[in-house]
């Protein structure tokens, strides 16, 4: 029997995930708009046999805090993901590309066309990270007075995904004959207009590009609210999530996979991949020193900026950084699951404001592990073997240095334990993740109709 294999994503956050990474000598300070940097990082991840690289994105600047905090924030300029990944596809062969795009501020036809194009350009390595946008500042960039309410955003997302899938099925897989001798280019009976009319969208179709090599790009989702879990159980094939403890991760894992049966789905059709930010040293002392060096680079104003979104309308300058935080917001129209995680973390560990921003500075609430390759591999293996994860979204604190460390030191340890590949299983992202290629819904309907008439 083949041993279950770990899945790994490389979450490539420009200079790295630590908030002060851009100041570190191991980072590329202008990486957000440096194509050479991203090419190097993608090739390193492929060398390490990662399944995919993942790029988060927002349709607006997310930085909070005062002018001093904004002046010290290193993440305000970066590439749009689909554009970037189209370039990276040309310099890699196997690794997949997970691009974030919003169902709240994009339109299904244009998004479906972009991702179909990326899947063709990469020869079947595209994935869409479906977000409803937690950044309330984005509304003004699209002529809206206010950010749509959380329930409405998820309702729109449900319909959006169905429309996108319908558009990707516009052409059946064998619709294009391209027969020069007969002069027949395509079969018109295998071209389908969607003619969707719903609450949020009216989309005629068909899409003006052939069906993606993977059928659909892999569908990725990151919400952990109840609405997010339900959306994932129905539609997602990969979930990126954030948990601090194995108990929390196990509860989430079992909850989401337990919801899938009512949608006719098997638990193996969904890969749950929590974030982990590893600070790796050949010894524990070396790893601790690396972590201290990063923590010492955090300016207090940047620390307050990290926390500001959890305390809307509160002037954090009026609070002692070494004292307890003010009361957290009861709710948010932004990222509800992250607010719950941070509130629970602060209350459980009785953190001061400074301790809280130091905990969030490395990975914004994802688990940070500081230690030897063996210690990092132990943490990964424990969650993997005990229903906490199917894999991990690895969040290097500093890029490219921390990814280099992970590939050189941790990957061989995981391979030696027999839980991570030594070679890619296939050429498409679906093949490497062990996901099936979806059938064309219009072809299935015709076959069903023919069978019924027989």
pLDDT in tens, 49-63: 999 999 988 777 665
- CA–CA gap between residue 277 and residue 17 (Å, rounded): 8
**What integer pLDDT is reported at residue 142 of this predicted model?**
81
**What integer pLDDT is reported at residue 58 of this predicted model?**
74
pLDDT in tens, 83-113: 999 999 999 999 999 999 999 999 999 999 9
pLDDT band of residue 331 (cuts 50, 70, 90) is low
**What integer pLDDT is reported at residue 65 of this predicted model?**
62
Residue 245: inside a domain: yes
Among 8, 11, 4, 52, CA closest to 396:
11
Q: What pTM value is reported for the model?
A: 0.89
Residue 436: inside a domain: yes
Ramachandran quadrant class, 147 (left: phi over 0; alpha: psi -120 to 50; beta: rest): beta
Q: Does the structure show a pLDDT above 80 at 1?
A: no
pLDDT band of residue 64 (cuts 50, 70, 90) is low
Do residues 299 and 265 make contact, with C-beta atoms less than 8 angstroms apart? no
**Residue 309: count of CB within 10 angstroms of its CB:** 22
pLDDT in tens, 383-436: 999 999 999 999 999 999 999 999 999 999 999 999 999 999 999 999 999 999
**What integer pLDDT is reported at residue 225 of this predicted model?**
85
Residue 2: inside a domain: no
**Terminal Cα-to-Cα distance of the chain (whole angstroms):** 41
Higher model confidence: residue 329 or residue 118?
Answer: 118
pLDDT band of residue 372 (cuts 50, 70, 90) is very high
Residue 328: inside a domain: no
What is the sign of the dihedral through the CA atoms of 83, 84, 90 and 92? Answer: negative
Q: Quick one: what percent of the chain has pLDDT higher than 90?
A: 65
Radius of gyration in angstroms for the set of CA atoms belonging to the chain, rounded to a whole number: 22
What domain range is 108 assigned to? 7-282+366-453
Comparing 243-252, 276-285, 307-316, which segment has the lowest mean pLDDT?
A: 307-316
pLDDT band of residue 139 (cuts 50, 70, 90) is confident
**What integer pLDDT is reported at residue 73 of this predicted model?**
66
pLDDT in tens, 211-270: 999 999 999 998 788 988 999 999 999 999 999 899 999 999 999 999 999 999 999 999
Residue 371: inside a domain: yes
Mean pLDDT (the chain, rounded): 91
Taking CA atoms, 308 is separated from 205, 251, 253, in Å, by: 43, 29, 30
Residue 196: inside a domain: yes
pLDDT band of residue 146 (cuts 50, 70, 90) is confident
| Tally of structural domains, the chain | 1
Residue 294: inside a domain: no
Q: Does the structure show a pLDDT above 60 at 319?
A: yes
Higher model confidence: residue 189 or residue 333?
Answer: 189
pLDDT in tens, 66-80: 677 667 766 677 889
pLDDT band of residue 143 (cuts 50, 70, 90) is confident
Q: Quick one: what percent of the chain has pLDDT higher than 70?
A: 95
Q: Does the structure show a pLDDT above 90 at 310?
A: no
Residue 324: inside a domain: no
**What integer pLDDT is reported at residue 339 of this predicted model?**
78
**What integer pLDDT is reported at residue 184 of this predicted model?**
96
CATH number at residue 247: 3.20.20.30
Q: What are phi and psi of 8, to 5 degrees?
A: -130, 130
Higher model confidence: residue 344 or residue 441?
Answer: 441
What is the sign of the dihedral through the CA atoms of 404, 415, 376 and 247? Answer: positive
Q: Does the structure show a pLDDT above 60 at 325?
A: yes
The full 3-state SS of the chain, as one line of letters, equals CCCCCCEEEEECCCCCCCCCHHHCCCECCCHHHCHHHHHHHHHHHHHCCCCEEEECCCCCCCCCCCHHHHHCCCCCCCCCHHHHHHHHHCCCCCCEEEEEEECCCCCHHHHHHHHHHHHHHCCCCEEEEEECCCCHHHHHHHCCCCCCCHHHHHHHHHHHHHHHHHHHCCECCCCEEEECCCCEEECHHHECCCCEECCCCEECCCCCCCCCCCCCCEEEECCCCHHHHHHHHHHCCEEEECCCCHHHHHHHHHHHHHCHHHHCCCHHHCEEEEEEEEEECCCHHHHHHHHHHHHCCCCHHHHHHHHHCCCCCCCHHHCCCCCCCCCCCCCCCCCHHHHHHHHHHHHHHCCCHHHHHHHHHHHCCCEEEEECHHHHHHHHHHHHHCCCCCEEEECCCCCEHHHHHHHHHHHHHHHHCCCCCCCCCCCCHHHHHCCCCCCCHHHHHHHHHHHHHC
**What integer pLDDT is reported at residue 312 of this predicted model?**
82
Q: Does the structure show a pLDDT above 70 at 149?
A: yes
Q: Does the structure show a pLDDT above 70 at 437?
A: yes
């Amino acid at each position: 029997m083949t041993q279950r294999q770990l899945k790994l994503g490389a979450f490539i956050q420009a200079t790295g995930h630590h908030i002060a990474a851009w100041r570190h000598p191991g980072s590329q300070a202008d990486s957000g708009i440096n194509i050479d940097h991203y090419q190097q990082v993608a090739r390193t991840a492929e060398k390490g046999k990662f399944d995919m690289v993942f790029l988060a994105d927002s349709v607006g600047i997310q930085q909070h805090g005062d002018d001093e905090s904004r002046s010290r924030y290193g993440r305000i300029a970066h590439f749009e993901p689909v554009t970037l990944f189209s370039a990276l596809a040309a310099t890699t062969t196997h690794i997949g590309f997970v691009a974030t795009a919003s169902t709240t501020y994009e339109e299904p036809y244009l998004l479906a066309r972009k991702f179909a194009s990326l899947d063709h350009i990469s020869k079947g390595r595209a994935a869409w990270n479906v977000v409803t946008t937690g950044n309330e500042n984005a509304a003004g960039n699209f002529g809206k007075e206010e950010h749509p309410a959380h329930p409405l955003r998820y309702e729109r997302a449900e319909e959006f995904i169905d429309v996108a899938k319908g558009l990707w099925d516009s052409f059946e897989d064998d619709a294009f004959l391209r027969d020069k001798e007969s002069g027949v280019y395509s079969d018109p009976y295998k071209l389908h207009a969607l003619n969707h009319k719903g609450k949020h969208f009216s989309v005629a179709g068909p899409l003006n590009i052939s069906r993606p090599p993977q059928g659909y790009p892999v569908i990725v989702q990151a919400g952990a609210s109840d609405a997010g879990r339900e959306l994932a159980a129905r539609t997602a094939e990969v979930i990126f999530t954030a948990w601090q403890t194995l108990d929390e991760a196990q509860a989430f894992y079992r909850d989401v996979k337990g919801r899938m049966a009512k949608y006719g789905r098997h638990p193996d059709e969904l890969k749950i991949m929590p974030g982990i930010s590893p600070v790796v040293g050949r010894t524990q002392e070396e790893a601790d020193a690396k972590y201290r060096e990063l923590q010492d680079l955090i300016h207090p104003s940047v620390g307050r900026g990290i926390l500001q979104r959890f305390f809307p309308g509160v002037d954090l300058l009026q609070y002692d950084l070494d004292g307890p935080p003010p009361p957290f917001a009861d709710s948010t129209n932004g990222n509800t699951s992250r607010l719950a995680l941070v509130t629970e973390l602060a209350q459980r560990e009785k953190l001061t404001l400074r301790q809280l921003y130091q905990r969030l500075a490395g990975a914004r609430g994802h688990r940070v592990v500081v230690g030897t390759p063996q210690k990092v591999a132990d943490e990964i293996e424990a969650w993997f073997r005990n229903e906490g994860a199917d894999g991990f979204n690895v969040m290097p604190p500093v890029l490219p240095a921390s990814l280099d460390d992970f590939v050189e030191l941790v990957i061989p340890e995981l391979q030696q334990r027999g839980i991570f590949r030594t070679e890619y299983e296939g050429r498409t992202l679906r093949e490497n993740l062990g996901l099936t290629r979806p059938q064309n819904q219009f072809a299935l309907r015709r076959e069903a109709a023919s069978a019924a008439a027989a």
